[in-house]
A and B are shown apart, each in its own frame.
Chain A
C-alpha cells in the first residue's frame, strides 16, 4: 500500500447506472489526478486538482464528473457510461514537482 487508496477495486455497471469511484490519500499531497488506462494505449490524464481546485479537464465527456471535497479525497462520479469507457481508472497524488504516488486503480466494466 503506497498511501493512495482507491475503492472499489472492481466495478461492473450498466449503461444506465450511476456509480462513484473514490480515492483517498493521507500523504499531505496538494494535487490529485484521475487517469484512464486502456489496453495498448498510453495513460490518459482526465482531471487535475490542485489545492482542491480543478485546474485541468482534458476534454473528458460530461458523463464523468469529478469532485474534490478536500485535499485528501477525490471522487469520480459516473453516469450513463458507454462500453468504451471500460478501463482501469487510476488515481494519483503529488506534492510539488516530484513524481506521483498511485493507487491500485478501479477496474471498471460497463455492460
Chain B
C-alpha cells in the first residue's frame, strides 16, 4: 500500500522569504501523480500544484514549484516570495495512474505554515 509522509507538522516563514515543505512517499508503482493541496482557515482544499511521475521536469505554478526526486521518492514544495495569504495547512497527496476514477488520493498528515509579517 502506498503511504505519504510529511515530517514537518509546523513551519514558519517571514513574508517575502522562501520556504520548502517536505514530503516523501512509498510506492512500488512506476506511474503515478503527486499533488500539493492548500487548506486555509476557510477549510476548502485548493489544488496548488501537480506532478506526473513520468515527467522529469519539475512542475512550476507562479510562486510555487516542486523538487521531484523520483528515485528518492521525495516531493517537496517551494514557496517563493511568501505572502500572508499563503498561511494554511499544506497536504501532499499521491494518486496511482492506474484504475481510473476509483483511485483514491492518499494524503499525508499535513504541514501547518505560518507566515510572519
Binding site for B on A (CB under 8 A): 2, 30-31, 33, 40-43, 45, 48, 50-51, 55-56, 88, 90, 92, 94-105, 107
Partner of B44 from A31, A42, A99, A103 at Cβ < 8 Å: A103
What is the minimal beta-carbon distance from A106 to any residue of chain B, in angstroms? 9
Given contacts A99-B33, A100-B45, A102-B44, 6 further A-B contacts (CB under 8 A): A30-B101, A41-B109, A55-B101, A97-B97, A102-B45, A102-B46
Binding site for A on B (CB under 8 A): 4, 33, 35, 37, 42-47, 50, 91, 93, 95, 97, 100-105, 107-110
- Give the interface SS of chain B, mostly helix, strand, loop or mixed: mixed
Q: A41-B109, A99-B33, A99-B50 are in contact. Are A90 and B104 (CB under 8 A)?
A: no
**In contact, A43 and B44 (Cβ under 8 angstroms):** no
**In contact, B105 and A50 (Cβ under 8 angstroms):** no
Q: Tell me the complex Cα distance, A103–B97, Å.
A: 23
Q: A2-B44, A102-B45 are in contact. Are A48 and B102 (CB under 8 A)?
A: yes
What is the minimal beta-carbon distance from A109 to any residue of chain B, in angstroms? 14
Q: How many A-B residue pairs have CB under 8 A?
A: 66
Partner of A97 from B33, B42, B43 at Cβ < 8 Å: B33
Partner of B43 from A42, A88, A94 at Cβ < 8 Å: A88
Contacts of A2 in B (CB 8 A): 44, 46
**In contact, B43 and A56 (Cβ under 8 angstroms):** no
**In contact, A97 and B104 (Cβ under 8 angstroms):** no
Contacts of A45 in B (CB 8 A): 104-105
What is the minimal beta-carbon distance from A33 to any residue of chain B, in angstroms? 7
Q: A99-B35, A99-B50, A105-B43 are in contact. Are A40 and B102 (CB under 8 A)?
A: no
Q: Tell me the complex Cα distance, A2–B39, Å.
A: 13
**In contact, B100 and A50 (Cβ under 8 angstroms):** yes
Q: Tell me the complex Cα distance, A56–B33, Å.
A: 20
**B98, closest chain A residue (CB):** A97
Q: Tell me the complex Cα distance, A43–B102, Å.
A: 16
